[in-house]
Copies of this chain bind each other. A is one copy, B any other.
Amino acid sequence: MAIDNPQPKGSPFINGPRLLDRHRAMAQIGATANGGVNRQALTPEDTEGRRLLLQWATARGYTASIDPIGNLFIRRPGVRSSLSPVMTGSHLDSQPTGGKFDGVFGVLAGLEVLETLDDHNVATARPVELVVWMNEEGSRFAPVTMGSAVAAGAVPLERVLATQDTKGMTVSEALAQQISQLPPLESRPLGAQGFAYIEAHIEQGPVLEGARCDIGVVSAIQGLHLYQVEVLGFAAHAGTTPSKHRKDALVAANALIARIRSEVADPLDVLRFTVGRFEVAPGSPHVVPGKVTFSIDLRHPDPEHLLRTGDRILEICSGEIEHCSISAKALLRSSPVLFDERLVSVVLNVAESRGFAHMSMVSGATHDAKYMADRTPTAMIFVPSEKGISHNELEHTEDEDLCAGTQILCDALLVAATMEL
């Protein structure tokens, strides 16, 4: 990709009120009492969100298609349709008590760019394609970024389709159910790739707000490991079993977590260590727990530090603790990813040119952009999250920040879409 002129001279202004209206409409789907959303992947709410988006897209005449893992593509044609597209996108699914802009912002910002180009009769050499990735959050079906990982060939389609939710329903079944409730869509093969991919997203952390910046120019995504640990004790009567006869899986799991936390503790506070799921069986108040299963989410920007820490955790999670046996396995080991330097420069330059306060940063969260980066020059744009609150119903981004991020996305995509190879 050659960048002759990264300045967005003549780039049209996006339609802010329309962008905000659409956010409000989307936030009603799966709305929770505390102002967030619960729109987990492939649930009826997720389906309703996709239907609404498709309604907006088809009203403007864009064509829509879906790949075998349920990634949804909306395309605005280019002057030269043989050229590979300039792409943008994000996800519509949420955490169970998620915020209303997480993922949605990147999707609606992308749609706004397509419509802005139409409003201003801007023809681009390359097609512009908006993608809605299936199951970025990994909440109902683990792990995260399922759709983009399959699209990139990082995990096999068949294995992912067989993944079950806690009620035993597979991705395959849930996806078939969703597709039957969407308008007819063109089928397309796996392996989405393009000339460039730029994803807009809320930061989900406190850095931009703390630095009083409007725009984060994201140069990389830190690595993410996900482990599942099982602690096996022996269920026993809470009233009759003396301490010395117990194999209490909860006591053992807590001791194990305390030990791991103390061993991996990072004085620089760069490593992220989280036990987010913790399930006790049989789970009755009057029974000594016989089994505990818990998750470890581990992240670090340095690939070697991450691997070393992950290996150490697997080492600790073997053998016995408090008379209970421990076993652990890695569900995901995803290395840090560096974005395309030239495309990151495009974002930096348009932010500079529009006069927004901006900074370069590493993403703490993983994103679908991580898998696109394997096959397509990729960059990301962050907008601030109030108090850094994310994966929480109180997550918030100000209207002007949503508009600023969308404008930068529009400018950057236009630079990429009109460039000649």
Contacts and interface: CB of A to CB of B under 8 A. Distances in A.
Interface string A176-201: 00000000000000000000000000
A153 interface: no
A235 B142 contact: no
Interface stretch (A67-75, A77-85, A389-397, A409-417): A389-397
Interface string A270-306: 0011111111111111111110000101010000000
A318 interface: no
A280 B283 contact: no
A244 B269 contact: yes
A240 interface: yes
Given A206-B245, A388-B245, A391-B287, A282 B239 contact: no
Nearest to A285: B295
Contact of A272 (B95, B241, B266, B366): B241
A203 interface: yes
A257 B390 CA distance: 28
Nearest to A364: B240
A282 B240 contact: no
A236 B392 CA distance: 6
Given A238-B297, A390-B236, A277 B269 contact: no
A374 B304 CA distance: 67
A66 B363 CA distance: 64
A298 to B, nearest CB: 9
Given A235-B97, A286-B139, A297-B285, A365 B240 contact: yes
A276 B283 contact: yes
A46 B96 CA distance: 34
Contact of A239 (B206, B290, B365): B365
A237 B364 contact: yes
Nearest to A273: B243
A335 interface: no
Nearest to A295: B285
Interface in A202-243: 203-206, 222, 224, 226, 234-243
Contact of A280 (B95, B206, B277): B277
Contacts of A284: 95-96, 137-139, 276-277, 391
- Chain A, interface size category, equals 35 or more
A254 B252 CA distance: 11
Contact of A276 (B272, B277, B288): B288
A279 B138 CA distance: 20
Contacts of A276: 238, 250, 280, 283-289
A224 B250 contact: no
B288 A240 contact: no
Contacts of A364: 237, 239-241
A408 interface: no
A144 interface: yes
A59 interface: no
A365 B236 CA distance: 11
Contacts of A2: none
Nearest to A390: B237
Choose among A204, A258, A278 the residue with the greatest number of B CB atoms under 10 Å from its CB: A278
A212 to B, nearest CB: 18
B277 A240 contact: no
Contacts of A236: 388-392
A89 to B, nearest CB: 20
12 contacts: A95-B282, A237-B364, A238-B272, A238-B276, A240-B388, A250-B275, A250-B278, A274-B286, A275-B289, A282-B391, A284-B391, A288-B391
Given A143-B285, A204-B240, 19 more contacts: A95-B286, A138-B285, A139-B286, A144-B286, A205-B239, A206-B242, A235-B392, A239-B297, A239-B299, A239-B365, A240-B390, A241-B390, A243-B273, A254-B254, A274-B287, A276-B284, A277-B283, A277-B284, A285-B295
The 10 closest A-B pairs by CB, nearest first: A205-B240, A240-B364, A285-B295, A237-B390, A238-B274, A239-B365, A239-B364, A237-B391, A287-B391, A238-B297
